[in-house]
Amino acid sequence: MKMKTRIWVFSLVVMGFVILFSNGCKKNDEKPTKVTDLDGNSYDTVAIGTQVWMVQNLKTSKFNDGISIPLVTSNSAWASLTTPGYCFYDNEATINKATYGAIYNWYSVNTGKLCPTGWHVPSDAEWTTLTNFLGGVNIAGGKLKETGISHWVTPNDGATNSSGFTALPAGYRNEAGSFANINDDDFWWSTTTSTSQTTKAWSRGVNYNYPYVYNDYYLKSFGFSVRCIR
């Protein structure tokens, strides 16, 4: 009787390991480490809590249906846009694209086609899920930012990058079309429009001088970075 019991217990243990191993493989298969856009730009990914994020800012010139996004370099043309547009900081793709990615107005985000297929621009609620998982907005910025001052202005306060998100200070383009704050800030769009001011949409941002995350809404004509989530 004891021998039968031992065999039964051993069988259960073996089955448990098989199931655990199988599930582990399946989980890894469902979380690719790379994703590519239609321009051929490759992005690393990172799991943070229940979410999977790209590790770099988006830099595509095409929507995921293959249609080109208008590249807008003129300040006045940018300021008057109420349709999709993108650019690179200071209109210098050679210098800024690889490190900081592209800058998009919110009208590009609102198409729902900006990120590679299977990915999307996060909603305001999804950004909140991220910052809550990282301990709240007062400290989450430090956990998102790349460490050191290779890209960030000193002191890059609180930066640990413990999340693996690796935020870099890409700067932004304002409603008049002027570029500002590269090496100081990065702001990312959400898909969520302000309910009180419909000409504005919610964003998140981080700064070199603080460990916290900005949570504010801006005119949809602003140009911000984009991080995609799966």
In a domain, 140, yes or no: yes
In a domain, 23, yes or no: no
> pLDDT by residue (tens digit) across 33-83?
899 999 999 999 999 999 999 999 999 999 999 999 999 999 999 999 999
The number of domains in the chain is: 1
In a domain, 2, yes or no: no
In a domain, 22, yes or no: no
What's residue 33's pLDDT? Answer: 83
In a domain, 27, yes or no: no
Q: Per-residue pLDDT averaged across 10-19, rounded?
A: 38
What's residue 31's pLDDT? Answer: 54
Q: How confident is the model at residue 32 (pLDDT cuts 50, 70, 90)?
A: low
Q: What is the mean pLDDT of the chain?
A: 90
Q: Check whether 7 has a pLDDT greater than 90.
A: no
What's residue 4's pLDDT? Answer: 43
In a domain, 108, yes or no: yes
In a domain, 228, yes or no: no
> pLDDT by residue (tens digit) across 73-106?
999 999 999 999 999 999 999 999 999 999 999 9
Query: DSSP per residue over the chain, as a string?
Result: -HHHHHHHHHHHHHHHHHHHHHHHHHHHHTS-SEEE-TT--EEEEEEETTEEEESS----SB-TTSPBPPB---HHHHHT--S--EE-GGG-HHHHHHHH--EE-HHHHTTS-SSPTT-BPPPHHHHHHHHHHTT-HHHHHHHHBPSSSSSSPTT-TT---TTS--B---BEE-TTS-EE-TTTEEEEEEEEEPSS-TTEEEEEEEETT-SS-EEEEEETTSBBB---B-
Q: Which of 221, 226, 225, 186 is nearest to 78 (CA)?
A: 221
pTM: 0.85
What's residue 15's pLDDT? Answer: 41
In a domain, 73, yes or no: yes
The residue range of the domain holding 39 is 34-219
